[in-house]
Each structure stands twice: as C-alpha cells, then as structure tokens.
A and B are shown apart, each in its own frame.
Chain A
Amino acid sequence: MTNMKPAALILQAHGTNRDFDVAEALTLTGAEPVFAPLNELRAGKKNFSDYQMLVVPGGFSYADALGAGKLLALDLNSYFADQINLFVQAGKPVVGICNGFQALVKSGILPGNGESSSAVTLTFNGQGHFECRWVDLAPLSQTCLWTKALAENITCPIAHGEGNFQAVSHSLLNVLSQNDQIALAYIRPDGSPASGEYPANPNGSLLDIAGICNPAGNVLGLMPHPENHIHAWQHPRHTRGEQGNSGLALFKNGVNYAKSL
C-alpha cells in the first residue's frame, strides 16, 4: 500500500478553474489525480470511497452567485453529505483551496466543531475588491496533517475577492486556537506576524487566518494557492535568484499521509 500512488479525487463543479493547477501539484508529489465532475459523482459514475484524497479546487463555482462557495456548499450538503462525512470520519486527507475553502466553510464541513454551518465565514476582502498578489504564510498547526512539521514558510499567490475570515464570536476563535485548528497565517516577508496589516494580511482576516483545519486535522481549507508555486520559475523574484517551490511541501504532507493509510 505504502508504495502505491494514492488516488486523489479532484472535484469539478460548475465554474471550477484551478483544477489543472492542483492536479500538477499532486502529480509532482506522487499522487494520482482523477478529475471528477460533480455530475459524474451524482450519477454514481465515480464514488468518493474509491479515493484516498479529496481536493476541492479553486474557481468561481456558480459564478459566486449569492456569495462565493455558497451554491457549491449547497450541492455538497444536498447530494454528498453522507459520502463526504464518511470520507472525513475515515481520516483521509481533504483540502479545499480558495473557492474550495469557501465551500467547505459554508457547508459547515469546516471548522467542523459541531457548530452550526454559520459560525464562521469568508466575506468580502477588507480593501473592497478581488486581489491577486504573492503572500507569505506561516504553517502553524501541528494537528493538521497538511501543515504538520513543515520546515519552511510558504510563498504563494492569492487570487480572491472573498477571503476575509470572520467568526460570529471571539469564543469560537479561542476554540480554534486552543484546538490548534489555525493551520496557516499570513506573515510579513521577514517572518513576523502580519497583525492585520495590508498587504501582508491581504484581506483583513481575523488573526491573519489564511487557512483552518477541522479538530481531527485531516481537513484543511486555505485561501492562498500553494499549487501555483511548485516550479522554480513561478517565484516572482526567480530572476533575482530567489526560488523555493515552497508550495510543494504542503501537498507532499497530504500525499505521504494518504500513502500511510
């Protein structure tokens, strides 16, 4: 089992558009990406249980109508609630990136503390518009199998208009910190905390939160795009000798964990 390539289900919703990007990251880190259009899953042509990993990629599912990720979340809850629940309970690695994160949050799969599906949200960026820029991230959670024991900070782009993490109550934020569910935080290039300051914190998220995980640590959701920093020449300063491919490590973590299952 350990030597076999884990099969990663890449969910394609109506408007998913970073599916190929994440597929390449998974291929490079030793997984077998399989694209699964939502309609094929609904028709039973593909089943979640046949896969070792689940990826909900970035994009504009349903054009962000009524709020980013909202209508994809409705699909997840209406058609696949049981299958996804089983997948999560089995401890298999699940990651939602950007629009995928928004869908996991709005469906209540994250943070997954048994709260109602409206305990946290990703709302409009504080600066008022979509933004594409490279950011620096500190992998914090040691509970999250995706960020656990990552040696280096991650440099990668964001590209979103609704990535501003907000919660109904501070008590809930405390719960997230106490449970080590804050997986990734925005930091300054020098590694110090962004402390809510733009552009290091590009969207106004509380506690500089860029990504969170469920209490068990196998489900990660994040706004930034590590799948867009997996080649040396993608780095914005590669002509100045800076490199890193620092997005790869996170996927390696997920794939290696899936192999160990």
Chain B
Amino acid sequence: MPVYRFLVKFNQPDPRSASYAADAKALGFQDITALACQDIYFIEGQLSQHECEQLALKLLSDPVTQVAFWKIIPSDTDATAPASIFVEVSLRPGVTDPVAQEIVRAAHVLGFDGVQRAATGQRFLIDGLALSRVEKLARQLLANPVIQHWTIGEIAPSFPEEVQASGEVEIIQLRTLTSEQLLDVSKDRRAALDLAEMQAIQSYYRKIDRDPTDVEFETIAQTWSEHCVHKTFKARVEVESNGQTSVVDSIIKTYLKAATDKINAPWVVSAFVDNAGIIEFDDEFEISFKVETHNHPSAIEPFGGANTGVGGVIRDVLGVSAKPIAATDILCFGPQEMNPDSLPEGVLHPRRIQSGVIAGVQDYGNKIGIPTVNGAILYDEGYTANPLVFCGCVGIAPKGKHHKNPQAGDRVVVLGGRTGRDGLRGATFSSMTMDAQTGEVSGASVQIGDPITEKGLIDVITRARDAGLYSDITDCGAGGLSSAVGEMASNIGAEIELHHVRLKYPGLAPWEIWLSEAQERMVLAVPPAHLPALQALCDTYNTELTDIGRFTGDGKLVVRYDGKTVLELENEFLHEGIPQRQLKAVISHSVPSISLSPIADDQLPGRLLQLLSSPNIASKAATIRIYDHEIQGGTVVKPLTGVNADAPSDAAVLKPIGTKGRKGIVLSNGINPGYGKQDAYKMAWAVVDEAIRNAVAVGADPTRIAILDNFCWGDPKRPETMGTLVEATRGCHDAALYYRTPYISGKDSLNNEYLGADGQRHAIPPTLLISAIGIIDDVSKAITMDLKQPGNMVYLVGSEQLPAILGQSVPGLPETAPKVYRALHQAITRGLVRSCHDLCEGGLAVAAAEMCIGGRLGMEISAAGSPAACFAETNGCLLAEIDPAAEADFLTLFRGLPLAKIGVVTAEPVLKISGEQIPVADLVKAFTGQN
C-alpha cells in the first residue's frame, strides 16, 4: 500500500516557529539564525493526483496562509528538499494521535475511500548550528524520545504494527521462591512490592495450591500499590521523638479522617470514601472537589503528564456523577535560568518542563471547556528533577442523583476511549523513586490525552445520571480496568470477558488489556433494561459503549479471555490481604531558623521591587491568560483583578450557570515548601490558615469552608522523611480542629526523589497543598483586592501592631484568628469592606504594593515599623480598605479583636511606607515586567 508524504509550510512568518526559536535561544542556542517549523502528514492508501490536491487544499492546509507539497514515498525526487539542515519528528507507534484519526475520518467524508491510515510529524529547518549542536537541540527541545522519534533528514512514517491478539497468559512460579527471588520478581515486573507483601501473595497461592497468572500478579501489584491503597498513610508507624517512642496506627485515620469526624459538619455530604469529596451547595445542588497529582509522568513527558493529570481529575468528578465546572492547577518547578549542563542525567530542563506542563494543562482544560480559575506556580531547586503538578476539579450535581450500589445482573459497561498499551504499570511507576532509566523503561506509562473524547463522557454521563440509567460509576485511573472494576465489584463480585474490550490496536496480552491506563474511560454498572437508552445517548454524543461483563453477586472477581479464565481472586484477599506496613519515623527538633538580614531604611524600596519581580511573587499573567477562565460564564472573581486586570486575586468566586439565587463557590489554596523545609508541623498550620484566609478575603463564610490535603513527599522508608510526614499530618489535624474546617478528600504522592547518575538522591522539599472550597451567600458582595477609593482607611486585620511577627522561624498562629475571620466576614457581608488582601510572602510591604497595583492608587502607611518588619511573614493577617463612613460599624465588629489602622488610600499613585516613597508605576513594572 503506497504512502504519501504531505509537507505544509506557512507562506508568512508564523508564531509557532518564532516561539520554538525563542525557546532554543533560551536553552543556550544563541547562535541559531533561523528555525522554521512545518507540518508533515503521512497518508497510506490508493490516491489519485486529484485526490492528493484536494486533500492538500481542503484538509491539510489553510490556503490563505499556507502552502502544501506532496510526494509518494519512497521516492528519489524531492521538490521540497531544503538547503538548511532539518530535523524531523514523529510520534512513536501507539501514542495517541487524534489528528491522524481525524484525517482518515475526514478523508472518507470527502469521499476519498482509498485512505487507509495516517500519521503526523513535524519538520524543523535550522540555520546557524553545526550538526552536533542540531542533534543536541533535537534532544533538548524538538523531540522527546519517550513519545517521539526523530532523525536528521527525512523520517519514515511509523504505523502501529498489525499483530494478532496473543491471548497469552504466563504462570508465575511463586510458591517455591526464596525471599531474594520474590524480591527479584517484584523488581523485574516493576511491581514495587516489598518482601512482606510478596510473602503474603506467596502464602495465599500456597493456600489455594496453585501459582498466579501474570494477570493476577499484575492486578495484585496495582491494587496494593502506594498509589491505590496509600499504604504509607495506613501504616503502623513507630515514632521516635526526644528519645521517646510512641506508635501511630495510620496517620490518615489518626489525624486526617479523625479531624473530619470530630468536626462532624452537617453540610459535608461525603468525605474520603468516594472519587471526590462532596459538600452541600443549596437546596437543589451539591458540589464536589478533588485534587490529584501527576508528578512522575510530568517529569518525563511534561505535556502528556500534565495533560492526562487534568483529564484524570475531571474523571474523578464525573465519578461522583457531577458536571465539572472549574479547574485549579498548582505547579512547582526548578529554577528557570538553570544551566542545562548542570542537570542530572535523564532530567529535562526546568524551562522545558514548565512550558510543557502549562501547555498540557491549557490544552485539556480549554478544549474540554472547563474554566481554570485558581492556582499557583512555585520555584525551588528541589523541584528540578521532580516537578509537582497538582490538578484540581470542582463539580456540581443535583442532590441525591449519585448512586453507588451495583446490583447482581447489572452489566459492566465501559464508556469512552479505546484501550491500548498506554500507561501500563502507571500506579506502581508513580510509587517508585525514579532513575536515569525511568524515562525509557516507563515510557509506556506516559500518555497524551484526548479532551474531546472526555467531553463526550461529560455529555453522556450527566444526561444518563438525570435519567437514572446506571447504579454505580467510577473512573478508569491508575490500574485501569483492574482497579475500576475491582473496586466496584469488591463486595458483589463480577465476571469479565476481556475479549470484548475495544482496542486501539491488536496484539495486547490479557494482562495489558486488564491493566492498561488508557485515558478517557469510565466504568458504569448498568441494569440491562437501561442499556438501549444509554447506547442511544452514546450514539448522539460520539461516545463508544462496550459491555464487558456482569456483576454476579457471588463476591468473586473472575476475568476471562476468549472464555478461558485468566484471573480468579477472592475479593477479601485482593482488598484486605495486604499486610499493614511497619514504618519508623524520627522527629528532629533542631528547628533551623530563617536568618533575616537586617535592612537599612534606604534599602526598603530596592528590596520591595526585587521581591515583586522575584519568580515566586511576580505576576503569573503570562500563564493565567492562556487558560480559559471565563467559559461557563460563572467566574465572578477572576484570577487577575483590578483596574487593568493585572493584580493577583486571593481566591476565585464562581456562580454556577443554572443555579438559582446569588449563592457562589469560593476556591483558594495554601502552599509553602519554604516552611516545609524548616518545620513540617508549623507549615501545616500555616498553609491551612493561608487557604482559609484567602477564601475569607473574597467573602467566603469561614464556617462553611471544606479543605483537601495533598502531600508530596520523599521516600517514607527513611525515618527522617517519615518523621516530617507524621508532623505535617498532625499539624493538619490540629489546624483543622482550630478552625472547625473538615477535610473532604486528600491524596499523597510519595517517593518524589530522583537517583541521579551521580548516585546522589535529589528529594523535593516536604510539600503540602491545602485546597479550600467555600460558600459565599451573595456573589454580588464578593470583594477584590484592588484599592477602590482615595480617602479610605487601611486596616491591618488580625494583629495590633506592625509587624505581627518577625520572621525568625516559621510563624505561629494568633489565637484570635478564627474570631477575626468571622468578624471580617460579617463586615464583608454588611458591605463595610471595599477591598481586602492577605499578607503572605513578602509580608505587609508586598501586600500593600499589590493592592496599589490593582487600584492604580497610592497608600500612605503611617504606622511606624522597621523596614525588616514591613517584609516579616505572618499568619492570620490581612489588609482591609474601609470607607470612613463605615469605620464605626467596622470597629464595633472587631471590638476585643486585634486590629490596627495603619494608613490611608491616596489619589497620588505612590506607596509611602516606613519613610520611603515608591511610585506605583515602579511597582507595576517590577511585578508585571511591563510599563
């Protein structure tokens, strides 16, 4: 079958080539004189000359801006052979390529039935670089071997090989193995199981007097993976502190779930048990929230890793039958200016990781149509080899429509994407420390998402929910069908026929089909009578439905391939058989202190401008603006606010379309790895407070806030690391009770360590993200942080003097904080507050500066304070702008609470602080990098 090669180039300067050129220069390829990016399409099939013309004109190019060339390959003549050196890149076989699929579909719509298959690629024409440098550029920027291959010169098309479905099942001789051999099996299959776990499996199979199939072993490895069962958080921990030894039986039970149980908030609908946490919204609706991490995949393939991270957390919300209405993303990267040659082997440059991750988030969120409304970006050398990608999703659903009770006889139905080798062993992969080989070995663990297919799932599932067509639902995440079906069948039992599963390409072994983590799939329990109605919905919204088996009621999980049993496990062993992990934790009491270099008075302006332009504080507008934060029409307080929409909001406020009244949702977050390095316990307090403080600042009711915890830590098998984890969860417990703020969901990502070729461990700082979801009763009363009116008073809320605390170590929390937040909320509800902003990194000076930027107004801070005090970091403090006419009422509300009038809003755009005068124009320039 002939293959045609189409080359499409712009007939005018194009932005994509320009941004590649800019990235190349940023990576140190200054000598590059020109870089042009062109598109390649390979089309296999019988095509006439006319059909080729039509394909080029109607499908593959934009005749106004592009020109297309084509030839049959192989061919000796090349009309398109350029003078420059060129690199060609194309996807590896099996990597999701929606464009290629669309080409075939569209060609048939055009009536060109000769078209069989298609593949895509890019050509990069490069001038000014020697060949060796071009090869380096290809490795560092143009291609990622994990999903692509590249050549200098013309690349050959690669289509998935047509091989026959093997159906082969391997028996793993486990019963006779020694301890060492058991560990070898775990290692060889990258199962990440320790000896106790391997021995538990061995004794189970000795008991039932046979050896496991590979399908069974892989299923157990996935089900028992850190990612799926959180064995560290459930472990029995021996804690050594000051020579004293105590025991904590599961930090999640003891600290996180315990806090939620003790608080026992009546408006919490579901906490920790389902795919996402659920709270009440109003009489009609409930809202759900889940935050996931996708760190390891993002480290080796940033675009695909972040892309599928967003897709995964959206499916979590679909898994509680909710319509996704907002996305959040908190990202942690290494320093962007890092010297590429100083990177550990196998580690991508932080700049490339950042641009890939952000592009991945943008691609999925924008295309599926969910506004990305809240987030943060942090930089630390500790994240160089282990970037952190936290993806959050909020959903809304009518009350009482979400069911989780499959009945015997219900069909096991898979909706959405097809199954390939994507993401095999992703769950165990994400539970392991990475090394230089991880990229190659775990390549299959990384996938590219297909947001439009998942949009089809939203369309189908929300309608199926309203029509009551299913009795249970869950998403296909880590572990694929094995964990989705395993979970749903854990009480009732099910039998599955893998032969019915629709595949992207043939040749998958049964265990690969069962374990595949192909994206965009949901599993539903559907009463047979409802199948036709569900099928009709799927046909309308271009979604595939596959019936792969039935729920039995006998409590057994039986999986067959072509009628032959390949897995037969008792649910009790699969879900309860894992031995509790025994871990040791050592708590260090040497609290390193921050050394605050004293600042001379005249240094204050320089220090402030330097802080405003520092990566962690400077404007994130360049990222925020490439996310659609307006779609669905509900964004009341946007990520950027103020006169010129260039100041940072404390939190997002949403008014979901279709809800009555004026109620809204508030979303915020707290995160501080800097504190994590010093004192994990105090860090937990600080970030819980930051998340709540940010929510209250825009108008959230402090008595109606729920929070989520996401822990990203190093290797918990090291007692010091485990020690900080224990301290952080204990802090989470104490802080939550202090505010009466329950946890409704959480997630942990451990082993965020990188074993460099140098043999050294590169671990991340202990990182805890607290995400808050709150309620505001009237969105028209929401507050933004931009100064509104000259002559208004500025109050420091939560502290009597300036500074509240001088930063000698991680700041503690004022005892009055909960009362202060309730008083502030009353003031906001009564319309007494014109603007409000929380004090965080950079203290009062940065907070005041950001408020000036937002309103393009000045502030005169009269209260005296040393320059160092102006930057001191505190907890529980905010700035509030009060109209003089409202001052009396405001003060009444704060009677007996810490409060200080520190200044006034001025028409003259100058920030006057501690005897210094800084023009707002300078603040804007430092913060935004623009005039």
Residues on A lying within 8 angstroms of B by beta carbon are 14-15, 17-18, 20-21, 24, 37, 39-40, 58-60, 62-67, 70-71, 74-75, 78, 118-121, 123-134, 157, 159, 166-168, 225, 227-228, 230-234, 236-240
B657–A74 CB distance below 8 A:
no
Q: Which residues of B contact A119 (CB under 8 A)?
A: 64
Tell me whether B18 is interfacial, beta carbon within 8 Å.
yes
Q: Which residues of B contact A120 (CB under 8 A)?
A: 64
B638–A130 CB distance below 8 A:
no
Q: Which residues of A contact B629 (CB under 8 A)?
A: 132
Residues on B lying within 8 angstroms of A by beta carbon are 14-16, 18-19, 57-60, 62-65, 98-99, 102-103, 106, 109-110, 362, 366-369, 450-452, 455-456, 539-542, 625-633, 635-638, 641, 643, 645, 655, 657-658, 779-780, 782-784, 786, 788, 835
B633–A227 CB distance below 8 A:
yes
Q: Which residues of A contact B633 (CB under 8 A)?
A: 20-21, 24, 227-228, 230-231, 234
| CA of A40 to CA of B540, assembled, Å | 7
CB distance from B736 to the nearest CB of A (A): 30
B638–A14 CB distance below 8 A:
no
SS class of chain A's interface: helix, strand, loop or mixed? mixed
The chain B residue sitting closest to A169, CB to CB, is B64
B628–A132 CB distance below 8 A:
yes
B19–A66 CB distance below 8 A:
no
A133–B645 CB distance below 8 A:
yes
A166–B98 CB distance below 8 A:
no
| CA of A21 to CA of B658, assembled, Å | 10
A239–B783 CB distance below 8 A:
yes
A20–B65 CB distance below 8 A:
no
B64–A18 CB distance below 8 A:
no
The chain A residue sitting closest to B655, CB to CB, is A233
| CA of A226 to CA of B628, assembled, Å | 15
B64–A166 CB distance below 8 A:
yes
- Complex partner residue of A66 from B99, B625, B631, CB under 8 angstroms: B99
Q: Which residues of B contact A20 (CB under 8 A)?
A: 632-633, 657-658
CB pairs A–B below 8 angstroms (29 shown): A15-B367, A17-B631, A20-B657, A20-B658, A21-B631, A21-B633, A24-B657, A37-B541, A40-B540, A60-B452, A63-B450, A64-B367, A65-B99, A65-B102, A66-B60, A70-B59, A71-B102, A74-B59, A74-B109, A121-B64, A128-B16, A128-B19, A129-B19, A132-B626, A159-B631, A166-B65, A167-B64, A234-B633, A236-B638
Given A39-B542, A239-B784, residue A71 in contact with residue B106 (CB < 8 A): yes
| CA of A78 to CA of B109, assembled, Å | 7
CB distance from A244 to the nearest CB of B (A): 15
Among B59, B64, B368, B633, residue most surrounded by chain A Cβ atoms (within 10 Å): B633
Q: Which residues of A contact B367 (CB under 8 A)?
A: 15, 17, 60, 63-64
Given A71-B102, A78-B110, residue A118 in contact with residue B63 (CB < 8 A): yes
A18–B631 CB distance below 8 A:
yes
Q: Which residues of B contact A74 (CB under 8 A)?
A: 58-59, 106, 109-110
- Complex partner residue of B645 from A40, A59, A134, A168, CB under 8 angstroms: A134
| CA of A228 to CA of B633, assembled, Å | 5
The chain B residue sitting closest to A225, CB to CB, is B630
B645–A63 CB distance below 8 A:
no
B541–A63 CB distance below 8 A:
no
Q: Which residues of A contact B98 (CB under 8 A)?
A: 63, 65
B625–A17 CB distance below 8 A:
no
CB distance from A121 to the nearest CB of B (A): 4
B630–A130 CB distance below 8 A:
no
Q: Which residues of A contact B64 (CB under 8 A)?
A: 118-121, 123, 166-168
| CA of A124 to CA of B12, assembled, Å | 12
CB distance from B360 to the nearest CB of A (A): 13
CB distance from B99 to the nearest CB of A (A): 5
5 extra A-B contacts, CB within 8 A, seeds A21-B631, A65-B98, A128-B19? A132-B626, A228-B631, A234-B635, A239-B637, A239-B786
B657–A17 CB distance below 8 A:
no
The chain A residue sitting closest to B366, CB to CB, is A130
Q: Which residues of B contact A39 (CB under 8 A)?
A: 539-542
The chain A residue sitting closest to B628, CB to CB, is A159
Among A120, A227, A232, A239, residue most surrounded by chain B Cβ atoms (within 10 Å): A239
The chain A residue sitting closest to B456, CB to CB, is A14
| CA of A237 to CA of B690, assembled, Å | 25
CB distance from B428 to the nearest CB of A (A): 31
Q: Which residues of A contact B638 (CB under 8 A)?
A: 236
| CA of A18 to CA of B788, assembled, Å | 33
CB distance from B15 to the nearest CB of A (A): 3
CB distance from B449 to the nearest CB of A (A): 10
Q: Which residues of A contact B106 (CB under 8 A)?
A: 66, 71, 74
Q: Which residues of B contact A239 (CB under 8 A)?
A: 637, 641, 782-784, 786, 788, 835
A233–B452 CB distance below 8 A:
no
